[in-house]
Amino acid sequence: MAAIRENILASLQVRDKFLDAMIALDEPNSGVMASDLAQFLQTNNLPLQMSGREQELSSYDLFIFWHVLAMSMPLAVGNAAHSGPIFLPWHRMYLIRLEEMCQEVLEDANFGLPYWDWAADGELPRQNQWRTDLWSSAYLGEARGAVRSGKIGQIQVRLVQNPQTGVLLSVEPRPVIRDSGRSSLAPTLPSEARVAAALDQTIYDRQPWNENAIGHRNELEGWIQGPQLHNRVHVWIGGDMGPGSSPNDPAFFLNHCNVDRIWEEWMGRHGRIYEPGRNRGPQGHRIDSQMVAVIGNALTPEQVLDPSQWYAYN
Amino acid sequence: MRESEGGDAHTAVILNPGNFRLPDGYKPESGHRQHQKSFTSTRTALHRGHRIKIKTTYRIEIDDEPLALHTMVLDNGNVHCHGLPNYSFPSAIDLAKSIIDAASLASNEVDEIGDSTGVDHHEADQRGSRDGDKEEDQ
């Protein structure tokens, strides 16, 4: 039976399970040391560098590593996870693997990652958007500053990418840091109107396939008149949601679950279609391109186009 | 690579070099992790039958240290850097200021796992662009 993904603000049970899973996965007991990741990068001659503290990492930290690694791999357009058609299917695969890990630690095969309907909050007055229940100690904790309250207050950040050098640093464990609603680039959350505009796009993606393309993917990723939608949420929250190590903030997964939900709604309206197809468009972004994975088997966009074997949205 | 005692079955798959596959179309730059210091992006457009082509090269330094992550200009004129992958800025100065702010979250005082290959990643001025065009001074 596939998991059901719900709005985090609509189910206390889902909220509690999500928060418990985050804490459990953040225990530094993965058996993987920071030096192991550095060695992996060197062995594979990968373009990402690491430095910093030797420490045992958590399973959650490995998702940060995976995200930064994918972003460090440039393709003909964008990289292995962003700024191109691969953006939506890669993050779908990424969320599936996190969801599977959550199911394991919770011993609940039916657990589904929750989503945050940020466009609903985007309709609130600006000054209220960072003061909703989502940013209380019962949910994600402080919207601004170090997160020290509630269950997310137990989360420790250990891997951070330096945005100037690109080096992935293993740092002294510290709390998640946010700066919600303070960026002049994104003083407010995305609006329902922008979501509607993304859903109205009839084409998934097209040439030039990058940040300048007109299509659903690029509208949803948020480059058109950006930052919008997905990108806007990253910028609005700020802090640890800024650099490539943004999955350090569990809000990342609530954001991407909502992004994935919108994509799923788009396919419900326009069909399970994906561009570019086989043997066309930029390599690494095609429907049969194997996506970069360090956790679980690597999948293709074709394999995740229909997620019904894993989950459905409520 | 030690076996995880506290982790779950998925982690046993992780980081096995034999299982990791590079994405199609990824081209490792020659040498070991080249250190690029400037970036050229090209914008094109058609207007009334005329072809427009704009090449922009950025070399951004903060305290004399180069911004080493790919930086480009989008069609709308905004500047984007992979260091802040979800952002685009109206000016390169705005971008640099935000890079400085974000870098404060990545402070590190010790290096116990640093790259031990001995390659000097700051050696030589590695110029180039992703589209293969020559750098042009602006």
Report which of residues B96 and A45 the model is more confident about: B96
Proportion of chain B above pLDDT 90, given as a percent: 49
Q: Is residue B1 part of a domain?
A: no
Q: Is residue B116 part of a domain?
A: no
B112 with A52: Cβ contact below 8 A: yes
Question: Cβ(B36)–Cβ(B127) under 8 Å?
Answer: yes
Q: Which of residues 235-264 of A touch B (CB under 8 A)?
A: 235, 239-244, 246
Q: Calculate how close chain A gets to B138, using CA atoms only, in Å.
A: 22
Concatenated DSSP letters of A129-144: GGGSGGGSTTTT--SE
Give the pLDDT score at A147: 98
- What is the complex's ipTM, to 2 decimals? 0.91
Secondary structure (H, E, C), A179-245:
ECCCCCCCCCCCCHHHHHHHHHCCCCCCCCCCCCCCCHHHHHHCCCCCCCHHHHHHHHHCHHHCCCC
Q: Which of residues 120-149 of A touch B (CB under 8 A)?
A: none
Q: Is residue B14 part of a domain?
A: no
Residue B117: pLDDT above 90? no
Q: Is residue B110 part of a domain?
A: no
User: Given CB atoms, is A52 within the 8 Å cutoff of chain B?
Assistant: yes
Task: Tell me if residue A77 falls in helix, strand or coil.
Answer: coil
Q: Is residue B24 part of a domain?
A: no
Q: Is residue B2 part of a domain?
A: no
Q: Which of residues 81-100 of A touch B (CB under 8 A)?
A: 82-83, 97, 100
Q: Is residue B11 part of a domain?
A: no
- Domain span including residue B138: 35-105+125-138
- pLDDT-derived band at B16 (thresholds 50, 70, 90) equals low
| pLDDT tens, per residue, chain A with 314 residues | 789 999 999 999 999 999 999 999 999 999 999 999 999 999 888 989 999 999 999 999 999 999 999 999 999 999 999 999 999 999 999 999 999 999 999 999 999 999 999 999 999 999 999 999 999 999 999 999 999 999 999 999 999 999 999 999 999 999 999 999 999 999 999 999 999 999 999 999 999 999 999 999 999 999 999 999 999 999 999 999 999 999 999 999 999 999 999 999 999 999 999 999 999 999 999 999 999 999 999 999 999 999 999 999 99
Residue B10: pLDDT above 70? no
B23 with A292: Cβ contact below 8 A: yes
A53 with B108: Cβ contact below 8 A: yes
Of A163, A230, A284, the CB nearest to B26: A284
Q: Is residue B55 part of a domain?
A: yes
- pLDDT-derived band at B132 (thresholds 50, 70, 90) equals very low
User: Count of domains in chain B?
Assistant: 1
Return the residue of B nearest to A176 by Cα: B105
Give the pLDDT score at B126: 35
Q: How many whole angstroms separate alpha carbon A146 and alpha carbon A134?
A: 15
B113 Cβ contact partners less than 8 Å away, ≥ 6 residues apart: A34, A35, A38, A50, A51, A52, A53, A54, A170
Nearest to A180 by CA among A152, A143, A128: A143
Domains and CATH numbers, chain A: 3-28+83-156+176-307 (1.10.1280.10)
Q: Which of residues 17-76 of B touch A (CB under 8 A)?
A: 17, 20-26, 28-29, 32-33, 62, 65, 67-70, 74-76
Secondary element (H or E) of residue A303:
helix A301-304
Report which of residues B114 and B68 the model is more confident about: B68
**The whole model's pTM is what?**
0.91
Give the pLDDT score at B114: 75
A239 with B15: Cβ contact below 8 A: no
Give the pLDDT score at A229: 98
Give the pLDDT score at B108: 76
Query: Tell me: the pLDDT tens digits for B79-93?
Result: 999 999 999 999 999
Question: Within 10 Å of residue B14's Cβ, how many Cβ atoms?
Answer: 25
